[in-house]
Structure formats: structure tokens, C-alpha cells
Structure 1
Amino acid sequence: MAATADSIGEPEDHPPWYPHALVDRPCDPSTFADGLPSSWGRIYGWDYTAAMLSDWWNGEHEGRWGAWPDAITSVDVVSEDRFGLRLHLNGSWVAHLYPFQTGKDVSTLALFEPWANSLANAPLLLPVAGQKNEHGDQLVVFEMHACLSKDEVMGRSHDLVQTAGRVHAALVDHATPNTERRWNERLKSIEDQLKTTTLWRAPHTRHVVGLPATHFSLDGVVAVDDELMLVPRPRPLVDHLMTEHERLPGVSVIAMFEQRLSLVEGFDLPESREGFYRAWGEGVPSSWTSRASLSTANGGVWIWRYEAMLLMLAEARAYGLKKQAKQCDRWLFDVSRIQARLGELRTVHAVRRGGVLAALAAGIVGSGPVQIPFVLGSMGVALAAHFVHQRRMPPPF
């Protein structure tokens, strides 16, 4: 089965949602409920095969919610992707089956009334029904829709991020403050599991805020009257296994889009990357794309590119995607160069700060003929350090 739009890999005999390289056992849905052991933790799922029959849909089952479709007479498998299976029910509904549970993010968007109300006019396709258990969403049902192909999405990349920006803007009232410490702990957890040689932490600015999870993907994009809409996806399995659940900023979603697209077609020039992020920035608060928020010294875009690439490397290892793993490793090799530059700049920043403080101290308590030359000299050092700091700072794009 070919790789999905959200992965780059080789054809394989396993379903695209089954992490065969991580669990090292045949795919047997009857064993999912007991949990599959893996080096990253136990993976819980359910035997979804009963839902392939129309009788199952017409019966009663625990955990159902919403306007459940009735009188189902036909169930057709349309496709499979990294998250699970897509079914057409009576040709009137689309059901997304998630063989492995990774939380209740999709159902919560529809069931938590404040979020649902805020998203009512946003370009987000919310489910009308679903079923869940203690481990998370088992399936959700949407009104009939057809997702765009990979090539169609790639041809409308700016429309894609503008649409994501409109969804993010709708959730601004539900944003939570910067959780810098927990975001950095999340990175450390991923690095530890992957045993990478790279380490990166970021201070972030107060304008980088957490949003309710939507988990967009390149193979979850719908066109309605030529306007794009996004389909919420469950939390990726590797993310669920390796880290605690956290609210992440909108820029993290755009960074994942960018990295996915870059492995397929690349961004030829820095200007094309900048245009990609500016398109998203048109619909979100201006502070999210301010110079300080995007500064590499504060984490900016680079820290989320880094996290996205780590998660894509984890995906490649879990699903046996050798080509994607090599691409991720090559990208991560270059991270050391950026980190070395940031290390130098921390020293330069210390010199800049020291020069300013020395000048202030001399101006306040100094006296005699050396006061003015000392103040001027200290300010000169600070200005020179500032110039070097600005010139050497890795650009966000």
C-alpha cells in the first residue's frame, strides 16, 4: 500500500496506520484492546472489523454520541491513511475509524460547547457523531465530503495555511498562556526516546500561546465551492506515545505543514518560506508573527520545525519509512550548525548586556577625567556586539 500524503516511504504490506516496525508483530485487531507492547509504551486500540458491517452500525454500543446515522445498509471502505480507515455509509456519511486510540481531541471539538460555538463559522469540518472509550475516540462520523489529493493540496499551499489561520483565529479566545517549561520538557522527551544527538530549548515570548488541538494533516483537506476546509484528525500515535498532551501554538501546525511539503517538493528560496508563513499570519493576531515571536533566539519558527522533524523521524521509525528517516536525519544533521551559531550569539548577547550595564554604572557613580571615555567605550562595545548579534542571527526563513 502506498504511503499517504503525510508520509514519504516505500510500498508496504501493512496497513498505513499499523506501526509494524515498532511492535514487531502481525496486525491482529482482536488483540488491540489488550494493548500492544512497544519500546515507546503500550498501544491501545479496538477491534474495528465489526464496524465494517452494516448491522454493527444499526446496533447499540457504549460510548456513542451525536446524531448517529440510522438505517445503514451499505459500508464501503474508501481509503486508509496514517490515522485509520475512511468508510462511506449509505453514500451519505463519511466515517473515520481509528484502530488505535490516542485521546479525545476530535470529539471534544464538537462536544465542548464553547469551542464548538467559536468554530461554528470557521473553515473546519466538525463531526456530527462518534464513539469513544476510556482510551479515546474510536470513530467519528462526518457529513459526506471528499478530500483533495496530495497534488491538489500542494498546489494550494498558501490557501492551506490561510485556512488554518482562520481556524486558529477562531480559537484565540480559548488560548492559554505560554507553557515554555512544558514545551521544552516535551522536546526532551522526544529526544530521549529517539536518542538523537541534538538538543534544543527555547525561551519563547509571551505572545506564543497554546491552542486547542486540531491536528491538521495534508490528507485532510476538503474544497467546498472552491474554498478550503480542514478535517480535524486525532493526535498522531507517535506523539501520543512519546510525550504528554500539551496545547501547542498555531505556528507548530504551520511548521509541520512546511516540513511535510519540504520533503516532497521543497521550498526553493527563503522568500517562498516567508510567503508561506506570512499567508498564515494574515488571519491570526499580528503578535504571533512579530519580529520577537519569529526570532530564532526565542525559538521562533525554527524550534517548531525542529520538533516537527523529530516527530517525522519517529513516524519513519515506527512505520518503517526508510526514505523519510534518511531525509529527517539529513535535516537534523544541519541543526548542530544552527545550535553552534546560537551558542556564539549567547556570548555576544552577554557582551552587549555587559557593555550597557558598565556604561550605566560609570555614568551614575563614575567621576573624573576617565568617566566620559569609559562610558563611550562601553557603549561602543555594546553597539558593536549588538551589530554582530543582529548580523549573525539565523533568519527565521
Structure 2
Amino acid sequence: MEIVLKLSPYHTKPCDQVTSGVHMEEKPWWPRGIVTKVVDDKIHTTWGTLSYWWDEDILSPAWWNSKKDYWGMWPKKVNKVEVIEEDYRGLIVQVDDYVARICPIPTGTHISSLGRSSAVITAIGDRVLLPIGGWESKGDRVLIFPHHDTKLQSPDGSLIYAIHKNLESHGLSAPNQENRWNERIKKFEDILQTNTLWRGPHGKSMLAAPRLGVERTGFIHHEGTLKLRPEPISLGEYLNDDGKFLPHLRDLAVIESTQTLQQWLQQENPKKSHALFRISVGGFPLLKYDVLLCQLVDAVAFGLADVHKMLKQKLTEVDRIQAKLGVMRTFRGGILLTGSVVVMGLLFSNIGLVSTTSAQVTTLLGILLMLLLRYGEQRSEPDWREF
């Protein structure tokens, strides 16, 4: 029976529909939207080349029992392999008492690097279900996780907050990298040929964090505790940016909802959260824009026309935000211009080109005008919730 897949990047294929002998083009993880040709173990796409492998035998115990070139822990004397789900990253399978993520198209080693770092394990091992083994060849092909309840749980903003606080306290965060972050956004805008343009300076409170693989589908229970199970970087994003050390608040943008925002904000100092969320300096809205562009890239990569249309509609909101920011910048420019006039008036007064009275009047009027312009600037700044 022919299986026709019409999946968004946010849905999975039920395990009872995962069959052998299905053409690669029908797999949910096949980038049908950008593939130009396949040669041996290489997928050539309009955005670059990907390594590729697939062996149907991986769904049999014999494959696991014969594997030698692995790192860390590996299932031994396997009796049963059960597919739990198949999605646009690959497959989740139960291998006896382990859970494995299989990536037919590897996208880097972000996740195995976390599991092989003693510093990361010490910092966040109690909150993140890190891989304990795997098979790496031109990227993470298989990631082995301890046994856990694979039923997906609701994303939790307070968990993300705690993870990043632990990374920061253990010295695993990095300073603001706004230039690289802005270049990353430009890459996505160029590849998607959007009509939008949005950059941000970001504040000093916006730290860079290691790639944690946060996704809405990554929250699970392990030994009765809610944890994050990291996911590999998406194929579309991987082809256009390495995704390393992104703003820590971006992980919250990935799982954004009224509930997760409230959970996160309850943990943070209000003054600091205000600085992080302000739209005039990029902040949280700009990170949501980054996430939206990545989702668009994946929609193109996997040929998801309906998802692409929906996301493009969301992108139109950026123009409205930019128009409001333009008004705000006009007020800010007026403040700078008025301040310059006041300073020039005082200088001219000192050298006798204008009278002291004129300089005083100019200064008083200038200060009043700057206060009015400052009020207008504050009133015209869009609320971060508008995007």
C-alpha cells in the first residue's frame, strides 16, 4: 500500500505506519523540497550537501548486536527493537531497556558532544536526559538514552530557566555574540528571499548558551522527574548555520506559550526580564523571529506547502513591528538632534556669538522638547507581546 505523508515538522508518523520497503521520498525525514540528486551516501540539495545512510536492518536485533564502532554505552544481547515514532529528524526506537534516536541524515554532533562532556553532565545532568552512548560517523547517526517514559509532556519554562542558570553558574555560558547572531538571521532571510529585515543589538544580559536541542517534543519523564531530552538540530537549519552558542533565551522562544512564559518569568528578576524582552533591542521577539525563520526553512526543505503558507502569513507581522520601530527611532533621532542644538547653543554663548539669555531659553526649550520626545519614544515602542 502506498503511504502518502503530509506531515508538518511538528507532527510525527505513528509507529504502526513505519514500514520497511517504503521509498525514501516517502519518509518524513526525507528533504523532498530541496533534493537535487543522490549519489551513494551523499544528498545534494539546493543549499548544500548532506551525508546520508539508511539500513533497514537497524530495526532488527542482529544489527544492534553486531555493532562495534560505538561510543559510550551500547545495548547488548538485544532481543527486541520497537519503533515508537518516525518524524522529520528520523526515528525514536525502543531497544530493550534503552531508547535510541536514529538519524538517517546526521546534522552535526551537537547532542553527543553534550553527553560526552563531563562539565555539561555535572552542570545539567540532573535536568537534561543526556545521551549515554551512540554511533557517530559524519555526525550523530544513533544516540542512546537511558530507559524513560517516552510519552511526551508539556514544555516547562521553569525547567529551561533552571538549565540555563546552571550552565551560567558552571561557567558554560558565553558573552553576547550579536554580530554572529545577526549574520545568522541574514542568512535565513537571504535563503528564503523574505522581504523582512530585522536585527538587534541585544543587551549584556543576553548570554550565549551551548546548543541544548530544545524542542516542544523533548520533554519527558525519567525516573519520575520531568527532564529535557535534547533533539538534533533540524536539517534546514543545519544546512545554513551551525547553530552553536545561540542566545539562551531562544530556547524559551522555541517552546513559547502563555504557560511557559509565565513559568520562566516567575523565576527571573522583573528588571532583568524587562531588559531581555524589550523589542527595541531585539530581545525575545527577535529570537521568536529567528525560530520562525528556521521553521520556514524546514517547511521548504520538507516540501510542506501548507505549513510554509501559514508561517509566511505570520512573517507579515514583522512589517507592522518594523513600522512601529521606525516611529520610535524617529523620536530617538529627534532627541539626539535637539540635544545637539542645546549643546551648540551653550558653546556659542561661551564664545559670545549668542547672548546668555538666548542660550538659556534655547536650553530650557530644548530640555522640554527632549522630555516630550522621550515620552513619545517610550509610548511608541511596541510591546514585546505584539509579535
TM range (shorter): 0.7 to 0.9
Match of 1:279 in 2: 263
CA offsets, 1:346-395, max 9 Å, x none?
22111112323443554566351112211111111211111111101011
Is there any run of 5+ residues in structure 2 with no aligned partner, and where?
350-354
Bigger Cα displacement from structure 2, 356-365 vs 214-223: 356-365
Amino acid at match of 1:104: T
Residue 371 (structure 1) aligned with residue 359 (structure 2): yes
Instruction: Indicate how the Cα distance of structure 1 residues 277 and 320 shifts in structure 2: closer, same or farther if over 3 A, else same.
Output: same
Residue 76 (structure 1) aligned with residue 82 (structure 2): yes
Q: CA deviation at 1:332?
A: 0.8
CA contact (8 A) 1:161 1:280 kept: yes
CA contact (8 A) 1:32 1:45 kept: no
Give the 5 Å matches for 1:287-302.
Answer: 289-302=272-285
Q: CA deviation at 1:50?
A: 3.2
CA contact (8 A) 2:9 2:298 kept: no
Match of 1:129 in 2: 133
Instruction: Indicate how the Cα distance of structure 1 residues 171 and 396 shifts in structure 2: closer, same or farther if over 3 A, else same.
Output: same
Q: CA deviation at 1:42?
A: 1.0
Aligned residues: 365
Residue 385 (structure 1) aligned with residue 348 (structure 2): no
* Rounded Cα–Cα distance in structure 2 between residues aligned with 1:68 and 1:347: 61
For residue 34 of structure 2, the aligned residue among 4, 8, 22 is 22
What secondary structure is seen at the aligned counterpart in 1 of 2:275?
Answer: helix
Instruction: Indicate how the Cα distance of structure 1 residues 21 and 2 shifts in structure 2: closer, same or farther if over 3 A, else same.
Output: closer
Is there any run of 5+ residues in structure 1 with no aligned partner, and where?
26-30, 262-271
Q: TM-score, normalised by structure 1?
A: 0.85
What secondary structure is seen at the aligned counterpart in 2 of 1:87?
Answer: strand
Residue 102 (structure 1) aligned with residue 107 (structure 2): yes
Match of 2:166 in 1: 170
Amino acid at match of 2:145: F
For residue 48 of structure 2, the aligned residue among 41, 45, 50 is 41
Match of 1:87 in 2: 93
CA contact (8 A) 2:279 2:384 kept: yes
CA offsets, 1:202-246, max 9 Å, x none?
111111111010111122211347642110111111110122433
Q: CA deviation at 1:185?
A: 0.6
Amino acid at match of 1:132: E
* Rounded Cα–Cα distance in structure 2 between residues aligned with 1:390 and 1:8: 44
* Rounded Cα–Cα distance in structure 2 between residues aligned with 1:327 and 1:70: 45
What secondary structure is seen at the aligned counterpart in 2 of 1:139?
Answer: strand
Q: TM-score, normalised by structure 2?
A: 0.87
What secondary structure is seen at the aligned counterpart in 1 of 2:83?
Answer: strand
CA contact (8 A) 1:145 1:222 kept: yes
Identity among equivalent positions (%) equals 27
Bigger Cα displacement from structure 2, 67-76 vs 175-184: 67-76
* Rounded Cα–Cα distance in structure 1 between residues aligned with 2:120 and 2:157: 20
CA contact (8 A) 1:186 1:244 kept: no
What secondary structure is seen at the aligned counterpart in 1 of 2:384?
Answer: coil
Match of 1:337 in 2: 320
Instruction: Indicate how the Cα distance of structure 1 residues 75 and 241 shifts in structure 2: closer, same or farther if over 3 A, else same.
Output: same
* Rounded Cα–Cα distance in structure 1 between residues aligned with 2:88 and 2:271: 30
Q: CA deviation at 1:293?
A: 2.3
Bigger Cα displacement from structure 2, 296-305 vs 342-351: 342-351
CA contact (8 A) 1:23 1:36 kept: yes
* Rounded Cα–Cα distance in structure 2 between residues aligned with 1:52 and 1:289: 49
* Rounded Cα–Cα distance in structure 1 between residues aligned with 2:363 and 2:185: 43
Bigger Cα displacement from structure 2, 249-258 vs 232-241: 249-258
Give the 5 Å matches for 1:47-62.
Answer: 47-62=54-69
CA offsets, 1:261-281, max 9 Å, x none?
6xxxxxxxxxx4xx6434224
Instruction: Indicate how the Cα distance of structure 1 residues 328 and 40 shifts in structure 2: closer, same or farther if over 3 A, else same.
Output: same
* Rounded Cα–Cα distance in structure 2 between residues aligned with 1:132 and 1:288: 44
CA contact (8 A) 1:147 1:219 kept: no
* Rounded Cα–Cα distance in structure 1 between residues aligned with 2:311 and 2:144: 34
Residue 119 (structure 1) aligned with residue 124 (structure 2): yes
* Rounded Cα–Cα distance in structure 2 between residues aligned with 1:119 and 1:18: 32
Instruction: Indicate how the Cα distance of structure 1 residues 170 and 32 shifts in structure 2: closer, same or farther if over 3 A, else same.
Output: farther
Instruction: Indicate how the Cα distance of structure 1 residues 230 and 250 shifts in structure 2: closer, same or farther if over 3 A, else same.
Output: same
Q: CA deviation at 1:113?
A: 1.5
Bigger Cα displacement from structure 2, 236-245 vs 189-198: 236-245
Match of 1:255 in 2: 253
* Rounded Cα–Cα distance in structure 2 between residues aligned with 1:314 and 1:5: 11
CA offsets, 1:112-164, max 9 Å, x none?
1111211133x21111111101x211111111123334xx52xxx5xx11112
Q: CA deviation at 1:2?
A: 6.3
Q: CA deviation at 1:345?
A: 1.8
* Rounded Cα–Cα distance in structure 2 between residues aligned with 1:170 and 1:277: 19
Amino acid at match of 2:159: T
Instruction: Indicate how the Cα distance of structure 1 residues 177 and 107 shifts in structure 2: closer, same or farther if over 3 A, else same.
Output: same
* Rounded Cα–Cα distance in structure 2 between residues aligned with 1:79 and 1:276: 25
